[in-house]
Amino acid sequence: MKPCITVVGSVNMDLVFRTPRMPALGETLLGHEFRQIPGGKGANQAVAAARQGADVSFIGAVGADGFGEFSRNCLNAEGIKLTYLSTCQNVATGVAGILVDDNGNNSIVLAAGANASLSEAHIDAASTAISSAQFLICQLETPLVSVSRAIAIARAHGVKVILNPAPAQALPDSLLQQVDYLVVNETEASQLSDSMVTDLDSAKTATQKLLQRGVATVLLTMGEHGALISTPDECHFIPAITVDVVDTTAAGDTFVGAFAVGLANGLSLLEASVEAQYTAALTVTRLGAQTSIPHRQQVLEFIASRTGN
């Protein structure tokens, strides 16, 4: 049987500008190209999980507009269950303005749109999709009160919770104590631990502080510097997979989706993390959010090309 994963999260249309570098304040800069690509952290993570072979249900909201219809069609094409993807009247679908420079670095500005309309009532209406899953994945591009409600339902039914607290914001210990796997980057780890992450030693300090706040497992992704996996009993550093970077958009989301599928398939914490690292590395060799997320066979071939297995 396929792994069963439910994602609560955002849907955005990404307006992607390729640019030689990031513009200075007040500067007009001639870019290389412009593309409209479906995105949103929640939708990206759902697509990543689906392309790795999971049976995915998605809970979110779009506007009654062209972007919303296009996003819905894209998710439907992935085989993702959209019973609880609401269409909100008189509000626009979420939009992200993304600048990607020639080094593959990006800067993103969000307009939440319909994502901000995802309510506790929407979550309660979708409680069956949450309670019947093996894993619940959440991020913070939808209201925290709704994310908290979804996590509470999952915990009440023994469903494992993966939280990617992005964009970063203050979170209470009472919420973190309900999280089985907290996936953070350096910025999010620094804010939540009140301990600046600048290198491996400071990363270890930050993850220990997050464990002390009640999280069961912390996965700190550090891009080209690798990833750190910490529990109260073990700590593993996973080196980065060296690739030619085109665009880092959706790398973290791909890691989350692939990690969830790995665990649901019975891999160990370390095995699932390593496989997710390879999946994310392959993502950054391509442009865009959902357009860059690889399928399972592509990941297996990539791993084999690097390891010989």
Write the DSSP assignment of 22-42 as a string of letters: PPPTT-----SEEEEEEE-HH
* Domain membership flag for residue 81: yes
- Identify the CA nearest to 210 among candidates 188, 227, 226: 188
* Domain membership flag for residue 285: yes
Sheet-wide strand order for 81-88: 81-88, 55-63, 4-8, 135-138, 160-163, 181-184, 217-221, 227-230, 235-238
* Domain membership flag for residue 27: no
Binding-site annotation: residue ranges for ATP: 185, 221-226, 252-253
pLDDT at 223 (0 to 100): 86
Which positions are annotated as active-site residues? 253
Binding-site annotation: residue ranges: 12-14, 40-44, 141, 185, 221-226, 247, 249, 252-253, 283, 286, 288, 292
Enclosing domain of residue 167: 4-22+32-307
Binding-site annotation: residue ranges for substrate: 12-14, 40-44, 141, 253
Three-state DSSP class for 279? helix
Distance between alpha carbon 38 and the CA centroid of its chain, in Å?
A: 14
* Domain membership flag for residue 211: yes
| Per-residue pLDDT tens digits for 194-247 | 999 999 999 999 999 999 999 999 999 998 899 999 999 999 999 999 999 888
pLDDT at 1 (0 to 100): 86
Give the CA-trace dihedral at 181, 183, 188, 190, to 10 degrees. 70
Total structural domains within the chain? 1
DSSP string, 204-221: HHHHHHHHHTT-SEEEEE
State the Cα–Cα distance between residues 309 and 305, nearest whole angstrom: 8
Q: Indicate which CATH number applies to the domain containing 51.
A: 3.40.1190.20
* Domain membership flag for residue 286: yes
Ranges of residues in the chain whose predicted pLDDT is under 70:
none
State the Cα–Cα distance between residues 56 and 43, nearest whole angstrom: 11
- Identify the CA nearest to 44 among candidates 305, 275, 260: 260
* Domain membership flag for residue 18: yes
* Domain membership flag for residue 9: yes
> By CB neighbour count within 10 A (0-12 exposed, 13-18 middle, 19+ buried), where does 286 fall?
middle
In terms of DSSP bridges, do strands 94-100 and 160-163 run parallel, antiparallel, or are they unpaired?
A: unpaired
